[in-house]
Structure 1
Amino acid sequence: MSTDKKLVSLTVPRLDPYFYIDKELRVILERMETLSKKHPINILVSGKQGCGKSSLVSQFGAVYNRPTAHFQIGILSEPGQLFGEQTLKNGETSYRPYLFPEALQTPGCVIHLEEINRPENPKALNMLYSILAEDREIWMDELGLIKVADNVVFFATMNEGEEYIGTEMLDPALRDRFYTVLMDYIPPEVEAEVMAQKAGITREQALEIVEIINKLRGHSQFPIDVSTRTSLMIAELVALGTTIRDAIVYSLQTTKEHLESILLTLHLENSNVESKASEYILFNRDIE
C-alpha cells in the first residue's frame, strides 16, 4: 500500500478590524501566545451559539500571523477519520492523508477543533487524547509517527447546554487537557458599534436593533437566543432599506406568529437595556 502525498496550503486568516473581546481575555490570549513558545497548548472556548467562538480562533491566527486550519468534529464517526482515508486507484490501495496531519506538523499552526462535543460517535475523539497530552505524538500504520510541531496552538470550541441537540458531555479526561475560555454576547454599545461598522447602518439604527435584540434575549416569558451572527444579518438587511421590524422577522429562526406576539409585547414595555460592567477592546495586533 502506498501513501499519496498531497500538499495543501495552510494560510493565515484575514484580520477582522472590528473584532471586540473582553479586555481580560485579551491579556490571557497574549499570555497563551507566550506560553505556546515553550510548548504546544490547548484552549477550550465555550459559550452560546453565535457569540464569536470560531471568529475568535480565526482572529487569534490573524493577530499572531499564524496559519490556521478548521476541522469539523461533528462529522466524525470513527477514530482516525481526521487523518485520512483508504483509496483504491488502478487496482492499488493507497492511503490519502487529509489536512490534519499536515497541520499537526506545521510549526506555529492554529488548529481549530470545531464543535468538539458534537461527534457522531464519542469514540471518534480517542485519537486526540495523545495529541493533546504531554507526549504530543501519535503512531499510525499508514503515516508512521506523527509529532506535533513546535508552537502549535489547539483551539476547541463548543456550544454547551441541554438546548443544543446532538451535543455530548465532554469527557473529563479530555476537558482536563485544556485551558478554558468562556464567551458571551458582547455588550450592547459594542454590538451596536460592530453593526454600524460592518453593515454600514447608522449608529441610531444599530442602537435600536440592539435594544430590541437584548429585550428578545431577556424576555421573561419567551426568551429568544439571538446570536451576534444573527444581529449582523439583521443589520445587513436594514442597510438595504428593510425596516428593522421586517429584518428581525426574516432573520430569526422562529415562527412569524410567535415573533409577532413578542414584538408586540416589547412595544408595550419601557425597560432599558443595561450594559455589562466588563470593558471590551479591539482584538488586534496592538496591546493596550
Structure 2
Amino acid sequence: METEFGGATCTNLEESATSERRDVVRDELRESSKELNRLDGKVSELLTEVQDGRYWAGWGFKSFEDFVHEECSFSLRKAQELIRVRKIFVGELGLSSEQLESIEWSKAAIVARVINEENRDKMLDALSTESLRELRERVRRMIAIQSHLEESLVEKEPIISSAAMNNELIAESTSDSTDWRLPRPDESEFYVSPEIWEQICFAASHGGKVLLVGPSGCGKSEIVYLFAKLAARQLEVFNFGAMSEPRSALIGNTHLSRTKGTTFQKSRFVSTIETPDACVLLDEISRAGRDAFNIVLPLLDRQGYLALDESEDSAIIHRAENVCFFATANIGMEYTGASDLDQALMDRFSVVIHLDFPPFEQELSILLSRCSGLVAEDAEQLLQIAHLQREQAQEGEFMTTISTRSLIEAGHQVAGGISLSRAFRYCILNRFPEDGGDVGERARLQQLFARFVDESSEYSIWDSPFEL
C-alpha cells in the first residue's frame, strides 16, 4: 500500500509540475507574441514545446490549430513555419537557442529549404554576410543544380562519381522536384481551393504568367500578396487602372540638362523586371489602354524584353530569370472603363484562373475571423443576403454583386455597435444604382434585406445618448 500510495504521490507531483510549466509557457507565449518580429526565436521555442508536449490539450483546446487561432496574434501557417525552422536549425543542425535568435528570420526561412549537415557552416556564414536577395539567388541556384542532377540520374544512372558528389555545388543542393509547393493560406483568413492554389504556385515558381479574372472584391489581388509572402519573394504592384501615361510608368523618362545633357531615368517597372525571382502584379489590367498593352506584350511572350523606345537601335531590357507575372482583370458590362482583354494579350498568359467568392461556410469563417466581435447570427444574415443576391445576379437580375470586401466592411461596423441595417446601407446598398425606382437594383436589394432582417428590432449604440 505504501508503494502504491508513494507512486500516486509521485504521479500527482509530476502532473502538478507539468501543469505549472504549461501555465508558465502560456504566459510567456502571450507576451512574446506581442513582439513577434523581435522575438521570433523565443516564440518558436515556446510553440515547439506547446506542440510536442500537447499543452494545448491541458488548456482545453481540441487541437493545436484551435489553440493558435484563439491564443496567438498570428496565423497557423506562421506558427508552423516557426516550428519547422526551429526544428531544422536546433533539432537537426544543433544550433543553440541563442544562436538561432541572432539569425534574421526571413533569411532563416529561405535557407531552411536547403541547409543540411554537410553545408551547415557555409550556409551559416552566408546568413551572416549575404543580403536577403543574395540568399534567395543562392538557394535558387542550389535547387536548380539539384534538379539538374536528378534529371541526369534518371537519364544515365551511374554517371556521377564520388569525387563529383563532394563538389561544393552538389553539397549545397538538397531540394526536390516538388519544391514549388506551398501550404495553402489559413481558410479562416482567406479561401482558395487546392486546385487553384496548385496552379498559382506551379506557374509562379516556374517564371510563368498568371491571369486572375473575377468579380471585384473576390480576392484576386490578395491571393497574389499571399503567394509572395509565403514564397518569400519580392512583390511589386503596378495599377494599370490608374496609369495615365503608360510609357512613363512602364519604361521611364528622358531628361534634358544643360550640364548633364540627355539622361534616361528608368521606371520602377524596369527595375523590377531586372530583379531575379521578383513577382510583378499588373493590377486591373482590363482598365489599361492600347499603349500599355503594346509595351508589355513582348515582355510577356518568349522574347521577354522591353524596348526603351521605338527606334531601331533602342536599348533592350530583358526579363530577369524566374520573374513571374500576375495580372488581375474585371471583365463584364458592370465595370466602367474595363474592356475585354485583347486576345493577343490573353494568349501571353500561361494560366488563366477564374476566381469567385468563397463557399458559404468558408466565407462565414473569414467574416468572423476578420471582424472581431461580430456575432455569428449577424454574419449569417449578411451572408444569406449576399449569396441570394449573387444567385440572382447570375440569372441576370443584377449587374453588380455583393463582394466579400464590402461584407467585411459591414461586419466591422456591426461588431463596433452600428445596427445591421445601417451598416448594410452604407457599406453595401449604396454601391448599387438607384435608377429604376421601385424595380431598380437598389430597391430590389432593399427588399432582399427585409426578408432576412426585421429593421424594427434593430438597435445601434449610437441611438443612445452619451453620458458625459
TM-score, normalization by structure 2: 0.49
Aligned residue in 1 for 2:3: none
How far is 1:161 from its partner? Answer: 1.1
Q: 1:102 aligns with which of 252, 271, 277?
A: 271
Is the contact between residue 53 and residue 183 of structure 1 (CA under 8 Å) also seen in structure 2? yes
Matched, 1:230 2:406: yes
Separation in 2, partners of 1:143, 1:60: 35
How far is 1:21 from its partner? Answer: 0.4
Separation in 1, partners of 2:281, 2:292: 16
Is the contact between residue 248 and residue 267 of structure 2 (CA under 8 Å) also seen in structure 1? no
Q: 1:161 aligns with which of 305, 310, 332?
A: 332
Q: Secondary structure of the residue that 2:322 maps to in structure 1? A: coil
Q: Structure 1 residues 151, 78: CA separation in 2 closer, same or farther (over 3 Å shift)?
A: closer
Q: Show CA shifts across 1:203-250 (max 9, x none).
A: 332222111222232347853411111111111111111111111101
Is the contact between residue 79 and residue 125 of structure 1 (CA under 8 Å) also seen in structure 2? no
Is the contact between residue 139 and residue 146 of structure 1 (CA under 8 Å) also seen in structure 2? yes
> What's the Cα RMSD here?
2.9
Gaps of 5+ in 2: 1-132, 134-183, 454-468
Q: How many residues align?
A: 253
Aligned residue in 2 for 1:286: none
Q: Aligned letter for 1:55?
A: E
Aligned residue in 2 for 1:262: 445
Q: Structure 1 residues 165, 255: CA separation in 2 closer, same or farther (over 3 Å shift)?
A: closer
Aligned residue in 2 for 1:218: 391
How far is 1:261 from its partner? Answer: 5.2
Is the contact between residue 193 and residue 206 of structure 1 (CA under 8 Å) also seen in structure 2? no
Matched, 1:65 2:232: yes
Gaps of 5+ in 1: 1-9, 271-288
Q: Which has the higher Rg, Structure 1 or Structure 2?
A: 2
Q: Aligned letter for 1:198?
A: R
State the identity %.
26
Structure with greater helix percent: 2
Q: Aligned letter for 1:189?
A: E
Separation in 1, partners of 2:308, 2:396: 53
Q: Structure 1 residues 246, 90: CA separation in 2 closer, same or farther (over 3 Å shift)?
A: farther
Matched, 1:171 2:354: no
Aligned residue in 2 for 1:124: 292
How far is 1:85 from its partner? Answer: 1.8
Separation in 1, partners of 2:444, 2:334: 22
Is the contact between residue 86 and residue 93 of structure 1 (CA under 8 Å) also seen in structure 2? yes
Q: Secondary structure of the residue that 1:126 maps to in structure 2? A: helix
Separation in 1, partners of 2:433, 2:348: 41
Aligned residue in 2 for 1:49: 216
Is the contact between residue 200 and residue 210 of structure 2 (CA under 8 Å) also seen in structure 1? no
Q: Structure 1 residues 249, 222: CA separation in 2 closer, same or farther (over 3 Å shift)?
A: farther
Separation in 2, partners of 1:181, 1:58: 16
Q: Aligned letter for 1:122?
A: R
Matched, 1:115 2:291: no
Q: Structure 1 residues 161, 233: CA separation in 2 closer, same or farther (over 3 Å shift)?
A: same
How far is 1:254 from its partner? Answer: 2.9
Matched, 1:28 2:186: no
Q: Secondary structure of the residue that 2:287 maps to in structure 1? A: coil
Matched, 1:187 2:381: no
Q: Secondary structure of the residue that 1:206 maps to in structure 2? A: helix
Matched, 1:248 2:416: no
Q: Structure 1 residues 140, 264: CA separation in 2 closer, same or farther (over 3 Å shift)?
A: closer
- Of residues 16-25 and 173-182 in structure 1, the stretch that sits farther from structure 2 once superposed is 16-25
- Of residues 143-152 and 253-262 in structure 1, the stretch that sits farther from structure 2 once superposed is 253-262
Q: Secondary structure of the residue that 1:127 maps to in structure 2? A: helix
TM-score, normalization by structure 1: 0.78
Instruction: Tell me: higher relative CO, structure 1 or 2? Use CA pairs within 8 A at least 6 residues apart.
Output: 1
Separation in 1, partners of 2:379, 2:208: 38
Q: Secondary structure of the residue that 2:250 maps to in structure 1? A: coil
Aligned residue in 1 for 2:317: 146
Separation in 2, partners of 1:50, 1:44: 16
How far is 1:189 from its partner? Answer: 1.2
Structure with greater strand percent: 1
How far is 1:128 from its partner? Answer: 0.8
